[in-house]
Structure 1
Amino acid sequence: MKIDILSDVHFDNYFYNKYKSDDVIKFYSQIIDFNNCGDVLVIAGDLGHDNEQNIKILKILKEYYKNIICILGNHDYYLMGKTNQKLFSNSFERVENMRNLINSKDGMYCLNGNIIEIDSVKFGGVDSWYDDGYLKVNYPNEEFPIESTNQMWFNSTPDSKFIVGIENFNDIFEIEKPKIESIYKDCDVMITHVNPSAKNENVNVRFQNNPSNTFFTFDGEEYLKNGNMKYWIFGHTHEELEYEEYNVKCICNPLGYSNESGNGSWVKIKQIEV
């Protein structure tokens, strides 16, 4: 099986209110060889800020793939704009709506602590979240009260501003952790939005030794060490990254924002074979 990998596609950053099929395919033809697509397209979170646009673009891409598997990222929780704020009372309602839209389509899956099997390959997926693992692993002799970590969170990321329904930086991690634990031993390919390693060497070299990495990683060493997955696909950081831990190949292949991707011209699909 051939699997195409992307993350952080941020559809609204590229298409705004325009998402005709020809426009979408023209843009993604820079990134994807539509004559040699994989059997599965994995998108490791951050589809975009508008659920209706997200599902329409996914349906256009689905014309070229047998299956599309997604999980959701932090931006998929954002309540930005009057439309979202009118439709949803909190971020979790928006997320549930996005999952339902994706899972209602044939050959499209939005995983949420569950496993699907396609051609004998088991895909497990969960949004995941960040914890304070990076701080504990890389600064073991220091204490980080939740109040100080929350303040750093407020200063480092807009998540605290646009995610409605949480108070602390790791509230969603506490929801996601049991989902990870329920599937990590039983899948061939694990998919999360957040990097599962808190080790400094498994962060892009540009950002190493920065305490704010705690909002881009979680300490998943137990899962990498004791799981049966061959690959772990993730996103969130807008930097291409690959490393291997405990014989698990960990891959991040983000699109990111238009200024980071050369409006798509600097990014190519990553394809693996399982």
Structure 2
Amino acid sequence: MKIDHVADMHINHWVPFIPNQLKWEKRTREFVRRILRKKTGEVLVLAGDFSEVNAQTIWVLDEASKHYEMVYWTFGNHDLYLLSKRDNKKYKHHSLNRVQEVIEKTAHIENVIPLIQRTHTFKGKTFAGDVLWYLPKSMGDWDFYRNVSNDSAYIKHQEAWNMDDVARLLYKSSADWYDGLEGQDIDVMVTHVPPVHPSISPYSPNGCYHSTVPFLAAPHWICGHSHLQGVFEKAGTTFHMNCVGYPNAYDNAQRFELPGDKVDSQLVIDVQMFTI
């Protein structure tokens, strides 16, 4: 089976909101087709951080469904952001209601499957996925979470008393589900947050950019969050990262414009493929 994958589109930074919704949707779909232009797989995996606006996320999933037999997705931290008073009112100060809205509004698309604390089998291969939330560990991690990361400012949870509780609740939910995978035959894990510090990262480990797990549940693992592109191995698992990230990370990219062929000397804006 050939699997295409991409993460961290952050598409509202590439195709920002404009009042003309028809044009905004058209440009969003054009950007998706640009990313998928080198499609070779039967399956597409989208590992979170679609947009800070649900309408775009829904357009992304709908457009992707037209190009693949199966589309799997999970959500990222930016897919939880409530950026305005209007967002907080609409989603009742509970960020997971944003994710639920996307699930409900794409439920009619038969080949689009959310991997949110869920496993699903396609053509004999089993995929499992979740956001796999992180938990800051050191004082430095917590300081980063509270004072640098936007997660602490824009992610809300109806059962949390404070910003620290949000991280703890989301982490516990992911960890409790993941523990139940032990002993299962999983072919591909899909998470937004990596379960380990990526060895291809040029940065020092930060507990807000990777989670921790007691075992690695699959031989292949697709993840994002750290805005890296590459493949690495750890303890018998091959990790696949293909994050788009933001326009300012590229040599020749701008908002409101489709990226050209020579967008950067090292980075690419295309799906990547591997075979299982």
TM-score (norm 2): 0.82
Counterpart position of 1:176: 174
Provide the C-alpha distance between the structure 1 equivalents of 2:269 and 2:150, rounded to a whole number of angstroms. 25
Q: 1: distance between equivalents of 2:188 and 2:37?
A: 23
Percent of residue pairs bearing the same amino acid type: 24
Change (3 A) 1:100 1:25: closer
3-state DSSP class of the match of 2:59? Answer: helix
Q: CA offsets, 1:121-152, max 9 Å, x none? A: 111011111124xx5xxxxxxxx46xx75333
Contact kept, 8 Å, 1:122 with 1:187, in 2: the verdict is yes
1:270 maps onto 2:264 in alignment: no
Higher helix share: 1
Residues 268 and 163 of structure 1: CA distance in aligned 2, closer, same or farther (over 3 Å): same
Preserved contact between residue 102 and residue 110 of structure 1 (Cα < 8 Å): no
Task: Specify the alignment match of 1:207 in structure 2.
Answer: 203
Q: 1:105 aligns with which of 102, 109, 123?
A: 109
> Aligned residue for 1:164?
156
Instruction: Give CA-to-partner distance per residue, 1:213-259, whole Å, 9 cap, x none.
Output: 11001122x221xx3x2201101011214211222101110011122
**Alignment partner of 1:77 is 2:70:** no
Residue 141 of structure 1 is matched in structure 2 by: none
Find the residue that maps to 2:63 and give its secondary structure. helix
Task: Specify the SS of the correspondent of 2:179.
Answer: helix
Return the alpha-carbon distance in structure 1 between the equivalents of residues 16 and 144 of structure 2. Answer: 31
Distance 1:104 1:183, change over 3 A: farther
- Is 2:135 the counterpart of 1:131? yes
What displacement does 1:25 show?
5.3
Counterpart-to-counterpart distance in 1, 2:58 and 2:207: 31
1:53 to 53, 56, 69: 56
Structure 1 Cα separation of the partners of residues 123 and 114 of structure 2: 18
Distance (Å, rounded) in 2 between the aligned partners of 1:62 and 1:130 = 29
The SS at the match of 1:177 is helix
* Residue matched to 1:255: 244
**How well do the aligned residues superpose, as a CA RMSD in angstroms?**
2.2
Separation in 2, partners of 1:85, 1:40: 34
For the residues of structure 2 that align with 1:236 and 1:174, how far apart are their CA atoms?
19
What is the CA-CA distance between 1:95 and the residue it aligns to?
1.9
- Say if 1:45 and 1:180 are closer, same or farther in 2 by CA, change over 3 A: same
For residues 68 and 239 of structure 1, what CA distance do their matches in structure 2 show?
A: 22
Rounded to whole Å, the distance in 2 between the matches of 1:50 and 1:67 is 23
- Look up the SS of the partner of 1:47 in the other structure: coil
Deviations 1:33-62 (A, max 9, x none): 35x431111011111111122102221222
State the alpha-carbon separation in 2 of the partners of residues 26 and 100 from structure 1.
Answer: 24
Counterpart residue number, 2:20: none
Aligned with residue 212 of structure 2, among 181, 204, 219: 219
Q: Secondary structure at the match of 2:189?
A: strand
Alpha-carbon shift at residue 24 of structure 1 (Å): 4.2
- 1:6-155 to structure 2, matched below 5 A, reads 6-17=6-17, 18-21=23-26, 23-24=27-28, 26-34=30-38, 36-89=39-92, 90-132=94-136, 144=138, 149-155=141-147
User: Aligned in 2, Cα 1:27/1:56: closer, same or farther, shift over 3 Å?
Assistant: closer
Contact 1:10 1:46 in 2 (8 A): yes
| Gap regions ≥5 residues in structure 2 | 18-22, 254-258
Q: Distance in 2 between matches of 1:86 and 1:205?
A: 38
Following TM superposition, by how much is the alpha carbon of 1:268 offset from its aligned partner in structure 2, in angstroms? Answer: 2.7
Q: How many residues align?
A: 250
Q: Distance in 1 between matches of 2:63 and 2:9?
A: 14
